Amino acid sequence: MSTATSASARAPKQDRSRATRQRLLEAAVDCLAEVGWSGSTVAVVAERAGVSRGAAQHHFPTREDLFTAAVEHVSVQRRAELDARAAALPASGRGRHEAVVRMLVGLYTSPLFRAALQLWVAVSTDDQLRPRVLELESRIGRETHRTAVTLLGADESRPGVRETVQATLDMARGLGLADVLSDDSERRERIVRQWARILDAQL
Amino acid sequence: MSTATSASARAPKQDRSRATRQRLLEAAVDCLAEVGWSGSTVAVVAERAGVSRGAAQHHFPTREDLFTAAVEHVSVQRRAELDARAAALPASGRGRHEAVVRMLVGLYTSPLFRAALQLWVAVSTDDQLRPRVLELESRIGRETHRTAVTLLGADESRPGVRETVQATLDMARGLGLADVLSDDSERRERIVRQWARILDAQL
C-alpha cells in the first residue's frame, strides 16, 4: 500500500517537473529569437517561463545547457510536425517535390531558425558555446538531411543526388537568413516553385 | 601662386583623410567578424586602426554609420575583385558555370560575410540599425544579382532563369552560414560541382 502511494505521488511530481522543463525550453527559444544571445540568460528565461531561478538552475545548471537543449527540443518537435504533415502529401509527381521543398524551407523561416541563428553567430565569439553548438548542429543537420531524402524520395546511390539534396537544404538555410531582415515570402515562393521544377528534372 | 600652393597642400591632406577612412573601414569589418556587434564600438575600431577617437568620430558620427559604411566598402571592393578575376575565366562551356558558382560562393565564405552576418543578426534586436542594414542589403543584393546574371551569361527573359540565379545566391548564402560553425569546404566543393552541372542543364 505504501509503495502504491509513493508511486502515485511521484507521478504527478514527475509530470510537474516535465512541464516546468518544457516551459523553460520554449521560453528559451522565444527569448533567443527576440533578444539574441547576449541578452539571453537563465534568469531572464526563468522569469519569462514563470519558474523560480532555483528551479531553472536545477533543470539547467548552465546557460549553455539551457539554450542548446532548447534548440534541440524545438528542432525535434518541428521535425515530428513535418513528418506528420508529410503523411498528407501527394505520394509522387510534380506537386510532391514542390510541397516538400516548401515544407523544408519552412523549417528555416520560423522562430526556431531565428533562435538557432543567434546561437550560430554567438559561437564565433564564445568558446564555451562553440563545441556544444557544433555537436548539436551536426546532429540536427544529419537528421534533417535524412528527413529530406525520405520526403523527396531521393535515391542517393545515383551520382549527384546526395549533393542535390544538400544544396536544397543550403538554399533553404539561405532563404531563412534573407527572411531575418524583412518579409521575403513572395520572392521565396517563386524560388520554391522553380527549385521544385529543378528537382523534378534531377531526382 | 597662393592658389597653387593651397591646392597642393590640400591634396596630401585629402589623401591622408582618405587613408584614415579606409583604415577605419577595414578595422571595422575585422572587428565585427571577430567580436560581433555587441563588442564593436567606434572606440574599439579606432584603437585597432591606430586612429584617434576624435578623428574616427569626425569620419563616422555614429556606430551605425561606421559599420554599415564598412560592410558596403568591403562589398564594393570584393565585387570589383570578382569582376577582375571573372575576366580570366573560360568564355563559355561547362568549366565556366563551375568557376562562376565557385566564385559566387566565395563571396559568402569570407570575413566580409561574417561581418555582414553579425549586422544581419543584430538587426533583430536593434531598431536603429535595422533601416540602415535593410537599405544596404537590398542594394548589395541587387548588385550581386546583376553580377551573377552577367557572369553566368543567364538570359532572364526565359521563364525560371531569374529564380534559378536567385536560388544560386541563396544557396551560396546558406553555404556561407554553414561555414561559420566549422570548416565546411570539402562538402561545399562537392555541392558547387553538382550545382554547376544543374546550371549547365538549366541555363
Closest residue of A to B176, CA-based? A174
Closest residue on chain A to B171 (Cα) = A171
Query: What is the band of B187 on the pLDDT scale with cuts at 50, 70, 90?
Result: very high
Distance CA(A28)–CA(A31), nearest Å, equals 5
- Asked whether residue A192 carries a pLDDT value surpassing 80, the answer given is yes
User: Where residue A106 sits, what CATH number does that domain have?
Assistant: 1.10.357.10
DSSP secondary structure letter of residue B52:
-
Radius of gyration of the CA atoms of chain A, in A: 20
- Name which of A166-170, B101-105, B127-131, B166-170 the model is least confident about: B127-131
Q: CB pairs under 8 A, 24+ apart, for B138-145?
A: B139/B72, B140/B71, B140/B72, B140/B75, B141/B169, B143/B79, B144/B79, B144/B104, B144/B107, B144/B169, B145/B169
Q: Which of B120, B166, B201 sits opposite A201 (nearest CB)?
A: B201
- Report the alpha-carbon distance of residue B73 to residue B139 in Å, rounded: 12
Q: Please check whether residue A119 is in contact with residue A54, taking contact to mean a CB–CB distance below 8 angstroms.
A: no
Comparing CA positions, the residue from A190, A149, A186 lying closest to residue A167 is A149
Q: Give, rounded to a whole angstrom, the gap between the first and last alpha carbons of chain A.
A: 62
Reported residue count of chain B is 203
> Smallest CA–CA separation between A134 and chain B, in Å?
6
Count of domains forming chain B: 1
Residue percentage of chain A with pLDDT more than 70:
95
Give how far A186 is from chain B: nearest CA, Å.
12
pLDDT at A1: 45
pLDDT of residue A6: 61
The residue among A183 and A4 whose pLDDT is bigger is A183
Q: Answer yes or no: do A35 and B125 touch at CB < 8 A.
A: yes
Report how far residue A197's alpha carbon sits from residue A181's, in angstroms, rounded to the nearest whole number.
27
CA distance, residue A19 to nearest chain B CA (Å): 29
Tens of pLDDT, residues B40-87: 999 999 999 999 999 999 999 999 999 999 999 988 888 888 888 888
* Domain span including residue A28: 2-202
Split at pLDDT 50, 70, 90, the class of A164 is very high
Cα nearest neighbour of A123 on chain B? B181
Query: What cell numbers appear for B13 in the block?
Result: 591632406
| Closest chain B C-alpha to A135 CA, distance in angstroms | 10
What one-character DSSP code corresponds to residue B109? Answer: S
Chain A CB contacts of B187 under 8 Å are: 166
Identify the closest residue of chain A to B129 by CA–CA distance: A181
The per-residue pLDDT for range A104-161, each reduced to its tens digit, is 999 999 888 989 999 888 887 788 888 889 998 999 999 999 999 999 999 999 999 9
Instruction: Calculate the average pLDDT of chain A.
Output: 90
| List of chain A residues whose C-beta atoms are within 8 Å of the C-beta of residue B118 | 121, 124
Q: Would you say residue B35 has pLDDT above 90? A: no
Give the per-residue pLDDT at B182: 87
The pLDDT assigned to B81 comes to: 85
Top mean pLDDT of A70-74, A120-124, A163-167, B137-141 is at A163-167
Rg of chain B on CA atoms, in Å: 20
> C-alpha dihedral over A87, A91, A94, A98, to 10 degrees?
10
Show the DSSP H helices in B87-160 as ranges: 94-107, 111-123, 129-152
Q: In the predicted model, is pLDDT for residue B101 greater than 70?
A: yes
pLDDT at residue B93 above 80? no
CB-CB contact of A94 with A67 (8 Å): no
ipTM: 0.89
